[in-house]
Amino acid sequence: MPIQRPAAIVMGGVVIQEVVAPVGIVYGAEDAAIQWPALIWDHWTPADWAAMCPDWTVLPLIDEPPTVAGKRAERLPMEEWTIGADAVTVTYRMVDLPQAEVEAAKAATWERIKAERDRRTSGGGFRVMVDGSPCWFHSDTLSRSQHMGMFLMGASLPAGIMWKTMSGAFVEMTPAIATAVFYAAAASDQAIFGAAEAHKAAMLESPDPAAYDFSAGWPVIYGEEAA
């Protein structure tokens, strides 16, 4: 089986080359150098490497930068990487980040969290049970104002208003449904706001605020479950 990539070429106990994508190689001294094409990386087994390049050891390369709050991982030179029996491991040193850079990363990530919060608030809809089935009502600004108007009308709401839901289906709007939509909106807004604040708190404690993943942990919106 070919050696997995990324890989490292080791000679004399030192890493001399990192290989991420297949590349042609030159083996040997100038007068007796042999050029091998890039396709060998997809075919040569460890035994092939040992036979064709006996002064080299080709090993898989493990590159897992550590993460520490307020610090950046900087690669050490190849000569300082750790060579094991089965793999080469890239080594790192941790350097302090300038405080301004840390704060900028936190601010930028918070802006992205807020954008996701606002997207879900304005476009995620409100889930209301109508005759035992879930219906999703639009949550954009215009729809919210319309929902508010119908809620305030109460028992004076005219009969026969057919309201289009997010699925495209129509339901007859009643005072009870208008009330349910109004309270569903309030509950949804609070839940989404709470999720955003929870992500903010976690991000501020993250060792790498710029890479903080806030894709999970939100209340379900339309399209994330069966309407």
pLDDT digits (tens, 9 = 90+) for 94-145: 998 888 988 999 999 999 999 999 999 999 999 999 999 999 999 999 999 9
Q: What is the torsional sign of CA 157, 161, 164, 169? A: positive
pLDDT value of position 226? 52
pLDDT by residue for the chain (227 residues), tens only, comes to 888 899 999 999 999 999 999 999 999 877 788 999 999 999 999 999 999 999 999 999 999 999 887 788 999 999 999 999 999 999 999 998 888 988 999 999 999 999 999 999 999 999 999 999 999 999 999 999 999 999 999 999 999 999 999 999 999 999 999 999 999 999 999 999 999 999 999 999 987 888 899 999 999 999 997 54
| The pLDDT of residue 227 | 42
Query: Distance (Å, rounded) from C-alpha 198 to C-alpha 214?
Result: 10
pLDDT of residue 42: 92
Domain match, 143 and 65 both: no
Angstrom distances, CA of residue 140 to CA of 17, 124, 185:
56, 9, 11
Same domain assignment for residues 103 and 201? yes
Q: Is residue 221 part of a domain?
A: no
Q: What is the pTM of this model?
A: 0.64
- Same domain? 92 vs 105: no
91 and 67 assigned to the same domain: yes
The answer on 141 and 85 residing in a single domain is no
Q: Same domain, yes or no, for 81 and 149?
A: no
Q: How many domains does the chain have?
A: 2
**How far is the C-alpha of 82 from the C-alpha of 13, rounded, in Å?**
10
Domain with 46, as residue range(s), is: 7-96
Domain identity same for 198 and 109: yes
Residues 154 and 92 in one domain: no
Taking each helix axis from N to C terminus, what angle separates 99-123 and 175-205, rounded to the nearest 10 degrees?
Answer: 170
153 found inside a domain: yes
68 lies in the same domain as 130: no
Query: And the tokens for 153?
Result: 């009308």
Residue 63 backbone dihedrals phi, psi, to 5 degrees = -125, 95
Closest CA to 81 of 4, 12, 13, 25: 13
Domain co-membership, 79 together with 172: no
pLDDT at position 30 is 76
